[in-house]
Amino acid sequence: MDSRKPLIFSFIFLTLIILIILFVKIIYIIIGIIFIYLLTRYIGYKGVKEYNNLYVKEMEIKLKDLKEELDVVYLADFQFDVNETTFNHNAMKRVIEKTNKLEYDLLLLGGDFVNYVENIDLFFEYLKEINIPKLGCFTVLGNHDYIDYDRIVVKLEELGIKVVDNDYFLLNDNITIIGVEDVWRGHPKLPNYPNDRVNILLSHNPDFIKEISDENEIAFMLSGHYHGGQIKLFKMTLQRTITKYVYGYFEKGRTKLYVTSGVGGSYGRGKRGKYIRFNARPEINKFKLKRESLWLKVLTQ
Ligand SMILES: [Fe+2]
Name the strands in the sheet holding 255-259, side by side, starting at the edge strand that comes first in the sequence. 167-170, 175-180, 198-203, 220-223, 255-259, 248-252
Strand (E) or helix (H) holding 255: strand 255-259
- Read off the amino acid at residue 11: F
- Read off the amino acid at residue 59: M
> Which pLDDT value is given to residue 117?
96
Whether 297 has a pLDDT exceeding 90, the answer reads: no
The three-state (H, E, C) secondary structure of 83-130, written as one string: CCCCECHHHHHHHHHHHHCCCCCEEEECCCCCCCHHHHHHHHHHHCCC
Q: Is the dihedral of CA 152, 157, 161, 164 positive or negative?
A: positive
Confidence class of residue 223 from pLDDT cuts 50, 70 and 90? Answer: very high
CA of 226 relative to ligand 1 center, distance in Å: 7
Confidence class of residue 1 from pLDDT cuts 50, 70 and 90? Answer: low
- What does residue 135 show for φ and ψ, rounded to 5 degrees? -90, 0
pLDDT per position as a tens digit, 40-66: 887 888 889 999 999 999 999 999 999
CA of 129 relative to ligand 1 center, distance in Å: 23
Rounded-to-integer distance, Cα 105 and Cα 200, Å: 15
Residues 6 or more apart in contact with residue 113 via CB below 8 angstroms: 78, 79, 120, 123, 127, 141, 142, 144, 145, 152
Rounded-to-integer distance, Cα 113 and Cα 123, Å: 7
Beta pairing class for 248-252 and 255-259: antiparallel
- What percentage of the chain exceeds 90 in pLDDT? 77
Please list the residues that pair with 201 across neighbouring strands.
178, 221
Residues 6 or more apart in contact with residue 93 via CB below 8 angstroms: 126
Neighbour tally for 89: CB within 10 Å? 10
CA of 15 relative to ligand 1 center, distance in Å: 56
Domain ranges of the chain: 1-51, 55-300
CATH number of 55-300: 3.60.21.10
CA of 264 relative to ligand 1 center, distance in Å: 11
Whether 298 has a pLDDT exceeding 60, the answer reads: no
CA of 203 relative to ligand 1 center, distance in Å: 10
Whether 295 has a pLDDT exceeding 70, the answer reads: no
Rounded-to-integer distance, Cα 246 and Cα 259, Å: 7
CA of 4 relative to ligand 1 center, distance in Å: 72
CA of 146 relative to ligand 1 center, distance in Å: 10
> Which pLDDT value is given to residue 300?
53
